[in-house]
Every structure is written in structure tokens, then in C-alpha cells.
A and B are shown apart, each in its own frame.
Chain A
Amino acid sequence: MQEKTIMHGWCGNVLRVDLTGGQIRTEKLDPGVAKTYVGGRGLGIYYLSKEVDPGCDPISPANKVIMSTGPLTGTAAPTGARYMVTTKSPLTGAISCSNSGGNFPAELKKSGHDVIILEGKSPRPVYIWINGERAELRSAEHLWGLTTHETDDALRRETEDKAKTAVIGPAGEKLVRMAAIINDRDRAAGRSGVGAVLGAKNVKGIVVKGHQEVSLFNPEEFKTVNGKYRNNFKDATKDNPPPLRLHGTAITVVGTQSHGVFPTRNFQQGTFESWESIYGETLTKKYLVRAKPCFSCPIACGRVTKIPDGPYQGEGEGPEYETIYALGSDCEVDDLAALTKANYECNELGIDTISMGSTIACAMELFEKGYLPESDVGMALKWGDAEALVKLVRQTGLRQEFGDSLAEGSLRLATRYGHPELAMVAKGQDFAGYEPRGEQGMGLAYATSPIGASHMRGDPAYFELLGVPTTIDPLTWEDKPPIVAKWQDVFAIIDAAGLCVFFSVRYLTDLTLDARPVGIMELVNAATGANYTLAELEKAGERIWNAERLFLTRAGFSRKDDSLPPRMTREPMPAGPAKGHVCHLEEMLGPYYKYRGWTDNGIPTQEKLQELGLI
């Protein structure tokens, strides 16, 4: 009989769902593993490395989906709302670990589970109903083909109205390579095609109802620490109302446009003439209904919006900054109603807005240059065509007509038409809304990210553009490798703890370029009693980053894959504040690998792996 170990912060339970055999069982979370990998993203790579062959076909039953919360998820810690979905990506063949907030992750934690592991493949469509510690597989045959909103409605009708859902839409079912998992109707574990892996396993979604609060090691201490950081936030925002609360992440357009790094025309330009028609203050004025926070969040960057009339009439959430870049400036669409409608469609069909917009932008450039014939698209595909944008999103989610080609993602699309260099990707994943030629640190972060291009793996935009904690010149490259590496590790800690970067970077670090996670350590220690030192927690971040790199190495990735399209490294920026610059990626990679303790080929050395306990 297994001895019962009482854990705090962590629930101590892993729900393992054998989809092939239709069995569900609860396993204990090893306290040593929990401390070593912290949670969330850390537990994701722990189980992925242990249980999934790095060479497997991502949409085969051999792949697994790991949904993991952190020790602060579901607690009163500011932004303790996040979970991570880790799997092998059908878009990139690399790791996919995609993060989301909302309320589903906290509800999962309150059901008494830290982690769900989905393995094998169900013979028929199913969903998983987790009601506290009880879990069962139920038929989802009647849900197949429904949108994410329709599925959310149906699942809560069939279980409990107050239950929370994470589901796929038609895009996930049809194995669209950029399919997302949508929780709480409009929050997305968006990137790298995690929704397609669920679809390949015949899983429509998870619905969960929790019945218990997360146990805390020292509730009094937790309350004191939590109060301190919440008060810091209140004090700091007294004279400086949070821009993200006022205008959502869409306000970030100001930072990128003014620095000349707002991607436009598939990254042919870094400024967009009509940017003011699609940025945050315009969104607030025209379509904002209310700001919407995730669980336990004092910022409330979420946007509930409504297009009251016209051809794009609708209601939903968004758009966020990344969506505005991808479906807006990158396609030269300046119609905010249209791109907001395209965002609604992505949420309902279950598609990552970033890769969707970037893939359409790629198709527009292929068309512009004469490589993509009109007969294949079924229409002329002109820059700025808002109507085409909305139409193509729908076609992609349903894999209809030209959408079937778009559903393969930008790299496969551009390769099919003979010009892979026109896909703005790293490791096959589309760039976020920041131009590497005008933001050297971001270029390095895109290239070295284990999931392919992402702004959520160290996000140098904070210190290169947005003034947090301070700003350093975005055009210098010599100083960036160690800073980017440190921030990558800190982001791994934030993701492992179950927090959101928006609060954590500004309020839970020491607010220096070292970004030491002092506040996170205090909160995690009060919640878990794990008694991390700052150095131990920082080491855990580095361990997670290296464990992810090790998985990639075993899947065949190396320096050759830490790359950017030639447009970024060879074609100087044509205009704007970054005019004349290219991204100095090759010059940065060597010092970056050296700082990391990796070989010149980007492989973690035995010494580094031993130091981190990874071998």
C-alpha cells in the first residue's frame, strides 16, 4: 500500500487517462520530482522526456498530452491562473508547450489534480469529466463538429453549469496544424498545434469541477507575502494605471510601431501606416464592452468586445496584441472590425491566431510575387483584403478549399510553392509580433526557443521596447546573449509556478535585468513549504530549459535549427527607426551557447547536464 504523503501547493495527484483502453487512474506526484521541476512547464517536460519518444509521429497514439498546473495555480497568488499543455508538436516536430489562463486551470487544481496525462488514442470521440477526485470518460460523438462555444455550452449542460472546460473546435478534429485548445470559451493554449494532438486522440475536451481549496503550507505567511505583492501593485499603479487594464495587450502596438518593429506585409516592413486604426485605444473606443480578468488577476488585460453591426457583427473576446499583428498589420488589414471577427472565428473554430494570420500573410506574399496562382486560392489574394481574411480563417478551421493548404501552416505552404524562405518562422513556428531586425534580443529568443518562435520564451520586448524593468538599446546585439538566457530561465520559473508573466516580471522579480524571481520564491515557499533558496529556484528554471533542449537534441534538433529566415539575417530593414539593420543571429549564437554551457553545435554538455541532474 502506498504511503499517503501530504503535499501543499501541489495536490500530489496525477490523473492518467489511457484512451486506448478507456481506463483512468490516479497516481501520486513524487514530492522530489515536484520540487525539482516546480510544476506546470517543468512537470510537462519531466513527463514528456520520461514517457514520449522524441522521434515519434506527433499525431500518432505514441504521443502524449500533458496538462500541468503549478504550485501557485488556483491559489490567491496574483495571476495564479495558468496551466501548460506539453506535447510533441504536429506543426514543428519540436516540443509544444502552450500556456493558458482563464479559470479552467484553477478549477483543475481545485479538483485535486496537478497534472493530467492523456495517452494512446480513443477508438471513438470522448470527453473527460472530472468531478472532484472522480473522473470518467464519456462519449463525445454528439459533440464532434461543434465549435468551442457550442461544446462549452453542451458540456456544462451535461455535467455542471459551473464546471470549466478546455476543448477543441473543428480545427483540432481536422488536425489543422495550428489548432488550439480553448478553455473558458475564449482563452487559448494556442500555439504549436496542441489542439490537433487532442483531435488525433479523439478527445473533444475536458470538463472539470473542483470542490476544494488548494492546501497551503503556511496560510498566514502566504497571506502576508501575497498582501505585500498585491500592495506593491496597488502602490505602483496609483499614479500609473496599468496600460493593459486600460486598453488590453493591444496597447503594445504603440511600443512596436514607434520602434519600427511592428511586423507588416509578412515582415517586409516594420511600420504600418494605418496602425492607429487597429491599436488599443481605438479598440477601447469602438468595441470594448469590459475588461475581463483571469482567475486571481489584479490586472485584467482580457477584452470582452462587441461589433454592434455591419458585416462583421459579433461578440466575443479579443483581439490581443499578437492577434492584431498577425491578422492585422502582417496582412495589411486595417479594418479592426474584420480582424476582431477573424479573432472570434479563430476562438470558435479553435485556431491559434498568430500562426493563422502569419500563414495568410505568407500566402499573400506568395500571391503578390506570382508564386501562388489565383486558381489555387479561388480568389485574388491582395494585401489588406479584410473580407478574404475572415473567409480564409473559416476555410482553414474546416479544412475547406484553399483553407486545406493554409491548415498545414506557413512553412509547408511556402515550401509547396517553392519558396520556404517566405515563411516567417523559427523551427517551423510563426514569429510573434516583433521584428528581429529591430529587436536583436528577440531574434535570439525566437531562434533558440524550444517551441520555435515565441514571445513567451524570455520575451526581450520587455527590456528592448516596453520599459520593464528598464530599456536597453534594441539594436545592439553584443550584450544580448546572457540577458536573453537569464530571462528564458526566469520565464520557465514563471510558467512552472503557474503564474502569468504580466504580473510576475514587473512585480515578482527584483526588477533588474537579472530578473531574479524573489517574489515567486516567497510565494512558492509559503504555499509548498519546499523552502527553495533563490539559487535553487533559478537552477530549476535552467533545468527546465535544458531538459527541453535535451528532448529537442534527441529529436534531432541542433544549431542548424536555431535559425531565422534569410529576410531577417540578410535583407536590411528597409525603413523606420531600424532602417539598415539585419538580425545578428550568427554572432549571438556562439556566446549564447557558451553562456549556457552548450557545445558550438548547441548541444548541452555532459557537465551541464550533470550539474542540473538531468543525467
Chain B
Amino acid sequence: MNNSEIKSDFKTMIKSEFEKLQNSLNGSSGSEINLARKDEFSSFFVKGIPTIKFENWKYTNLTFLNKLDLKVQDGSEDVSDINIKELYYSEVDSHKIVLVNGIYSKELSDFFEVDGLDLEIINTTSSTDLGKYSSYYGKLTHNSGHPFAEINTALSKSVLVIEIKENKVVDKPIQIINITDASKHGVFTNPRILVICKKSSSCKIIETNYTVGNNPGVKNIVKEIFLEENANLNYYKIQDDTEYSHTFDYTQAYQLRDSHFDEAAVSLNGKFIRNDLRTILDSENIESHYYGIFIGSNSDLIDNHTFVDHAKPNCYSNENYRGILFDKSTGVFNGKIMVRPDAQKTNAYQSNKNVLLSPYAVINTKPELEIYADDVKCSHGATSGALDENSKFYLQTRGIGEKQAEILLLNAFAAEVIGEIKIEKLRNLVLSRIEDKLNMVYN
């Protein structure tokens, strides 16, 4: 038997990669970073890859991971083929930071001194101490219980830190361009990002994702986001990737008094997307808004798991997710809202509307409210169904063909969420990509 033909399963691959990493560490193996790495690895290893028997993974079958031929990859030797100017969302006027397989590429980035912003790249295999970032890094993912966040902490070798300084308003959006280079072989990557918004700062971040090459790319990205007092952050995550892309995205935010956090997840293209978005509202007068639009075709799976954790009184949260599902695609929305005993006068709202355009398309939507305070306003609603026949007929009686009528209605359905994107250029690009996608599916 030829040994090279035996594919190891995913869990074994993670284990051997973890051991390889441990063996390569010299002086830093006893560092705080590495202790966390070991903890998170063992926490993962005990559970293994979640099966559909895990409540949080009930509708999201991960057995495909064992079928893909993957290598854990950090960075890429050759990025000369990549020109970020040609990337679709590059048109948005922004400071551009490029990560290739999770590693910062100075060569590809278009980023110079930005007033009010510190950009740091920390190599977590050689550093023994995170210095001023030690009170941030890993503090939110610690005890997440999330297997992929654990894998990321165990294996990631570099952290991109974006710190927005006190009272500073960043002049234009920051664009984080995640490139997954799968041109030579299938890859599993672990990008890691830490965003710190200091007191009264304000910033907009766009995250775009591209997979290069025709081999499977599995990206396991983890973001920790801190919003200190009165800080303001808009984070727009654009998942408009290729059919070879598979994404695990774990985003954990922590908010303090008077802060405002907007997250929009625009999932347009990709074979597999699992987003976990969690926020702890840990002081008063905080606002959190989550928006999402997902469009599935073929056999795509798009899963959004959200968790809004109201820990203190007088805060506001709102979630609005919309799904459009064609062919044999599957959508999952699970929205957990926790209102802890202290969190009186909480306003928490959630809505998930879905349009199914094929008898084989599936949506699994579930609100999960846990309310332990008695003076709160919470609401949730979920709908799923076909397009409204009366609306379609009305358009047809005005000479608009059936397909065109459906495209018009679906564009409008999506546009209500896209309207929340506060960067006009980005908003228009997204709208036109949605239109392209709908035209493609219909023709």
C-alpha cells in the first residue's frame, strides 16, 4: 500500500499540526500565549469535530472536512500573481490590509500611516509576551466552547491587531482583504484578528474574502473585537467568494458603556459558510445591530449563529437577517438572545425572513430567547415561503416578464438589508453583485 494515498482525517490533521507547532517552539513554549494554545487544543480534542448531534451544529454537517485534501497553511510563498487592484471590492476608497492564508502581506497591502490607527502584526510563535495587547488577545475566545475558535487559537501563528486610538475618527474605511491561496493544493488557514476601539473612537471596517486557485480552501477566521466607552464600529463582512471556498467565521465582540456596534454579513457566494457572531453588552446604553443577507444556490450551505448577551440594563439590540435560497441550498439561522437578571429595560429585537425558490431548498430558522429580567421588550419573528404571487402578478400585468419580476422582487427584498451599509460605494457594489448573482441563477 502506498502511504501517501491515505488521507488522514481532519481531527488527526489538526493534532499532528499542533504537535509540529509545539515541537518547533523553543523558548516560548511556556509563555502565556502557548499555555492558552494548549488549553484550547485539549478542549477541542476532547470533543472533536462537531457532528449533527451537537445542538449548535444540528443542521450543519461537517463530514465534508474529512473528504477534502487539506494542508494547514500559513502564508504563501508566491503572491506575484495577485493584484489587489483587480479584486472586485477594491474600488471602495479604503486603507487596504492584505492577509494571505492568515499572514500579513506588506507587499500586497496598500496601507500607510493612518492618523489615529495602530496596525500591529504579532508573531505568536516567537513572541513570549503580547505586551499591551495581553489583556485583549484570547480574552473573549477563552471558554467559547466553540471547536473552530479553539482550533484557531491552537494553530494560528500571527495576529493582525487594529487599534483605533481614543477620540479618533478614522478618515476612511479600513479594508481587510483575506486571500486564501489554494492554487497549489487544498488549504486550511487560521487568520486571527484583534480589533480594539478605544474610548470615543469611530471606524468602519470592510472585510472581503477571495479564494485563489481551484483546490478547496477552508478558512477558519477568528476575530475579537473590543469597543470601549462611547466607541463606534461598523463592520461589513463581505463573503462573496468562489465555489472552492469554505468559511468558518467566529466573531466575538465586547462592548462597554455608550458604544455602538454594527455588523453586516453579506454572504453571496461560497460553498460553505458558518458564521458565529457573539456580543456581550457589558455596560449601560449600548447598541448592537446585526444585519445579514445570504443567497444560496447549488448545494451551498450558509449558517448564521448569533448570540446577543445582554448583561446590563438599558441596552438595545436589533437583528435583521434575510435569506434567498435556490436549488438545493440550505440556510440556517439560529438567533440566541440572553437577557441576564441585571439587564432591566432591555430592548432586543430579531427578525429572519426567507424566500425559498426551489422545492429542494431548505431553511432552518430558530430563535432562542432566554430572559431572566422582568422589565424588558423583546420580539422575534421568522418567515419563510415562496415569493408573493400577488406581487408577481401585479408586475406581470405591467409587461414585466416572470423572471424579471422575480429578480425585481428579490432585489428589493435584499436591498432592505443592504440599505443599512453606510458606505455608499460598497452598498452599490453589493447591490450590483446581488443583481449579477440573481441574473446568473435565472439564466
Does chain A bind chain B?
no
